[in-house]
Structure 1
Amino acid sequence: MKVPNTAHTERPWRIHEIAHDFVLEDVWTLPTPGGPDELPRLVQFIATDDHTSQPLVFRVLFDIRWKLGALLGWDDADTVVGTRVTSLRERLPDDLRAGRRGPDTENFPFTSVYLTDTEWAAEMANRTMHGVMHIGWVPDGSGGYRGQMAVLVKPNGLFGKVYMAAIKPFRYVLVYPALMRIFERGWQRQDA
């Protein structure tokens, strides 16, 4: 479920000091109920889940995006983190740099930036933008905990701003609803 951006901005996340020049695009509660120490489980699920068995609309949209990216050079080697943009790891304060990094994702081009007991940040870049997926583990208001996902973006020039505006309806109507179903089914499958 989409929640107001304040659900992210009012929390004392470490990402605020690292990605202060990024735009907060979206904040979503994740259907991943659990106990206070289950962020590592959620991170592992996100990093390793095989999304090929996921809903057709999700697979088709991402297949189209990756094919367009290959055709138009959006995802070329000179556009990724460490080439076109410097990794956010370079901005980390000493305590986070010395701490756990977390896993890179296996099925999407996200590279882990840092992992704490309550948050995980992973980044990706291409010709359109530099983006951060921030996963927090937050109290759910009824004695339990759940995941919360924030998407932060730094568009690459006018083209990046236009691209982000163009994909926004697809994100809200198709991508995020499918992604929430993926999280819910995957989390329930792990509980079984």
Structure 2
Amino acid sequence: MRLPDSAHTDQPWRIHEIAADFHLEDVWALPTPGGPDDFERFVRMGERIAGADHNPTDGWAWPARALWGLRWQLGRLLGWDKPEHDLGVRAPSLRDRLPADLRDGPLPPVPHGAPFRPVYLTHNEMCWELSNKTVHGLSHYGWVPDGSGGYRAQAAALIKPNGVFGRAYMAGIRPFRYLIVYPQLMKQIAHRWQDTPPGPSRDDRHPMSS
């Protein structure tokens, strides 16, 4: 379910102090019902799909798979994803801005095949980033109350388009993201969440809780 921008901006996320110059593209509630300590389970869900045998579009309907494949075919054909557009070349990595506690902390897992790099991980949020000819983009996830006594994950996309071309590209793909890609992504997340068991006891938890 898509949420108003305030669902992200009103949270005390660390991302606000780091990426104030990025535009908030959209915010989504994810189908991951849980308790207050289940963000570690959400991170472990990412770890489970980070293996080399995972396809990020597994389980998607064919229109979404086709759009995903078309984007990367066009990127190769038109040079959108060449090394000169990568992080550290066209755009400095967000990790260059991190305060010491985040820079020296753990990194979130990135699903195999996804075009992102990890930025930081805390006890209740994590961030990935990418850079190409069209945009420098951030994918942010946090763990929040769901308003009915439970908790869930929340996703936000933050972008910095690369000029007129980048803005036109983002505007052009927006309807396809909302109508085709995001619904399939939500179904995949719900399935993966159900397959990810609850976490270990507090004493055995992920090092991010220390």
TM-score (norm 1): 0.94
- Equivalent in 91, 98, 102 of residue 104 of structure 2: 98
Shift of 1:52: 4.1
TM-score (norm 2): 0.86
Q: In 2, Cα distance between the equivalents of 1:173 and 1:32?
A: 21
Secondary structure of 1:85's counterpart equals coil
Q: In 1, Cα distance between the equivalents of 2:103 and 2:152?
A: 26
CA contact (8 A) 2:44 2:196 kept: no
Q: In 2, Cα distance between the equivalents of 1:84 and 1:115?
A: 24
Q: In 2, Cα distance between the equivalents of 1:59 and 1:157?
A: 28
Q: In 2, Cα distance between the equivalents of 1:67 and 1:40?
A: 35
Structure-1 residue corresponding to 2:28 = 28
1:83 aligned onto 2:89: yes
Structure-2 residue corresponding to 1:6 = 6
1:84-163 pair list within 5 angstroms? 84-163=90-169
Q: In 2, Cα distance between the equivalents of 1:81 and 1:109?
A: 11
CA contact (8 A) 2:46 2:109 kept: no
What's the Cα RMSD here?
1.6
Shift of 1:98: 1.9
Unaligned runs of 5+ in 2: 199-210
Describe the superposition over 1:124-155 as per-residue Cα deviations: whole angstroms up to 9, x where unpaired.
11000000000001111222210000000000
> Which structure is larger by alpha-carbon Rg, 1 or 2?
2
- Equivalent in 173, 182, 188 of residue 188 of structure 2: 182
Secondary structure of 1:161's counterpart equals helix
Structure-1 residue corresponding to 2:41 = 41
Residue identity over aligned pairs, in percent, reads: 54
1:107 corresponds to which letter in structure 2? G
Describe the superposition over 1:13-64 as per-residue Cα deviations: whole angstroms up to 9, x where unpaired.
0001111100000100000011222223223324553334221222211111
Question: How many residue pairs end up in the alignment?
Answer: 192
1:54 corresponds to which letter in structure 2? G
Q: In 1, Cα distance between the equivalents of 2:32 and 2:177?
A: 20
Structure 1: 4+ residue segments shifted above 3 A: none
Q: In 2, Cα distance between the equivalents of 1:143 and 1:176?
A: 26
Comparing 181-190 and 171-180, the one that deviates more = 181-190
| Cα distance, 1:58–1:41 mapped onto 2, change above 3 Å | farther
- Equivalent in 59, 63, 85 of residue 65 of structure 2: 59
Unaligned runs of 5+ in 1: none
| Cα distance, 1:104–1:52 mapped onto 2, change above 3 Å | closer
